[in-house]
Amino acid sequence: MKQPAWRPRVRAASIHLGASAVVAALAAALTFGLWYPWPYSMLAGGLGLFVLVCSVDVIMGPLITLVIFDTRKPWAELRRDLVVVVLLQLGALGYGLHVMFQARPVVLAFEGQRFRVVSAVDVLMDELSKAPPSLQALSITGPVVVGTEAPTDADAQLKAIDMALGGFDLGMRPQFWRPWDAAARKNALAAAK
């Protein structure tokens, strides 16, 4: 039995690698141009997550093509095999982009003494309707800068402490978000000194 020629396999894998790189570049433009603008690609871990998702996707598809591509197969079978590889690759990329969308930074919250980058999955969604009207929708174009206002009555303070111990600090709770205005800037500058 004659071994299949490597030249067509390498050519097919190279074409697949080029197409995968173009799709990865488009995904990068979406991810870093819209969801993770600089410097949040570094602060929120978007760069590392993107490299993981795309490197696996860009490398595995062409490698599988290199393995399965055989010019001795009937055209219909070869086409079916390649379509399955591409569909699996696109499914994996779609899932990876979905995870990145869910982890995108949506708020940069000033919490009295520090700024906190809050991702979409960290926002307490039950309280989103209690946020000021301009802050009731999560951003898809990078985080919105907000101030926070701590509760003033004793019961609300106790609940806020309990929620913070459970992992939901003020910056993650929309009911405490306030628009970034001159007063919020003044508070941030005072805390910075």
CA dist 3 → 9, 15, 74, 79 (Å): 12, 22, 16, 20
For residue 84, the model assigns a pLDDT of 92
Provide the whole-model pTM: 0.77
Amino acid at 107: V
For residue 41, the model assigns a pLDDT of 78
The residues that bridge with 147 in the sheet, in sequence order, are 110, 178
**What residue ranges of the chain have pLDDT lower than 50?**
none
For residue 2, the model assigns a pLDDT of 58
For residue 83, the model assigns a pLDDT of 92
For residue 22, the model assigns a pLDDT of 92
Burial of 36 (0-12, 13-18, 19+ CB in 10 A): buried
